Amino acid sequence: MAFMDNSHSILTNLSRDFLALCQAQVTLLTQNLNAAWVGVYLTEDAPKKSPSTNLIPAYFYPQSNPNLPFLSEQENQVLLLLHGQDQVEQDSSLPHDLETKINRHNQIIMPLLYEEIFMGLLVVRRSESPWNELELSQIEKIATSLAIARSLEKSNSWYQQKLRQLEKFINFQDHKIDNLLHQLRNPLTALRTFAKLLLKRILPEDNNNKVVQNILRESDRLRDLLQQFQQEEKSNSSILELKGGLVSQTNFLLPAQSSRETDLIAIIGNLLDSAIAIAEEKQIKVEGEFGKNPVFVQGNSQAIREVVSNLIDNAIKYTPNGGQVKIELIKKEKYQGIKITDSGYGIPLEDQDHIFERNYRGVQQLGEIPGTGLGLAIVKELVEQMQGQIELISPNELNGTTFVVWWLAS
């Protein structure tokens, strides 16, 4: 540790509040205790290669000479030895001969300690008379106040630095997302164009016509999700600027106040065509008969589609070849529901309490089936935002898994 006569290097890092506190404490020392000279010296971390910590004058009275007075080089070395570590003892540990020399000049040196961390020194001198016990106690309290304030300021500075780093990281991630969205837009447009061209070349009665329609519908869904995501990002950016970083946590799949009367049959019918095509590759039988009459529930059509699509996809994914998936409409009291049952692997009892947590896959983490553990978390969040309910049954009558989702019936 070494003393530095370089107040500017640390003054730029001090807040106005801390300097105001220094001024108020120095006023108490000069007016109430008749101090003739006061110096506040703070620690500043040295470069990593240096084993020492610098002591820099931060505030002093009168403001003519910030150098530490009345200390010989030998006395300086003793102080540095005593206070050179983060874990230090109280000021009473000063050697007797040093106390005598200091008291002879009516000068008090108090370490600024908070939670056993050395923050600096408070040096107080007067020429009229020695310090009594009451005055020493008051000086010690002032030193403690300065140490606490300095500790809080250093913590705040650390948090501010981390916040700036986080903001840089978020900006970097935003740029990556913007680039990704931009790069997805062109192939997605091409995919929709090819699907439209195929529809013109395939007769309506051709079995492939429905497949192409599904391709076009799914590409439209991707386009809508990308557009809505970009709008949500712009909205959050505006809130960030207006509220100083406080961004509302909204789900871009479920815009605010968008719950309305939605035909459940229309949504399931479109998803069923895609599910049957996907399940054919694994020889999985997908069953679902709903009739043509609409079934209305209160909810957001896009969010309902996301919920049902995730549950059907999971049922097919976790059902082995040759299995079956059943999709049924059920009803109870004021609720209308959908029941999705599979003959798959089931969900172990120990995983069921965590299955809706983000990134949780439980025993499936050890399996070969890929996944992120986000699907069911998204499903539960969307269902709850629409004031719905979701139930899990495993094992079911087919020794697999059943999910039931309830919406308020219209």
Q: Quick one: pLDDT band at residue 233, thresholds 50, 70, 90?
A: low
- What gap in Å lies between CA 52 and CA 1, rounded to an integer? 4
Q: What is the mean pLDDT of the chain?
A: 78
pLDDT tens across 292-313, in order?
A: 789 999 999 889 999 999 999 9
45: phi then psi, degrees, rounded to nearest 5: -60, 135
> Can you give the residue ranges of every domain in the chain?
2-163, 260-410
| CATH architecture of residue range(s) 2-163 | 2-Layer Sandwich (3.30)
Q: Where is average pLDDT lowest: 24-28, 80-84, 177-181?
A: 80-84
Q: Which residue has the higher pLDDT, 222 or 139?
A: 139
Q: Mention the CATH class of domain 260-410.
A: alpha beta
- What gap in Å lies between CA 122 and CA 102, rounded to an integer? 13
Under 8 Å between Cβ of 194 and 201: no
- What gap in Å lies between CA 347 and CA 402, rounded to an integer? 10
Query: For 26-40, what is the mean pLDDT?
Result: 91
Q: Which residue has the higher pLDDT, 205 or 286?
A: 286
DSSP structural state of residue 331:
E
Q: Where is average pLDDT lowest: 62-66, 97-101, 140-144?
A: 97-101
DSSP structural state of residue 409:
B
Are both 2-163 and 260-410 of the same fold? no
How many C-alpha atoms does 59 have within 13 Å on its Cβ side? Answer: 21
Question: H-helix or E-strand containing 340?
Answer: strand 335-342
| Nearest alpha-carbon partner for 199 in 183, 185, 215 | 215
Query: Which three-class secondary structure state does DSSP give residue 164?
Result: helix
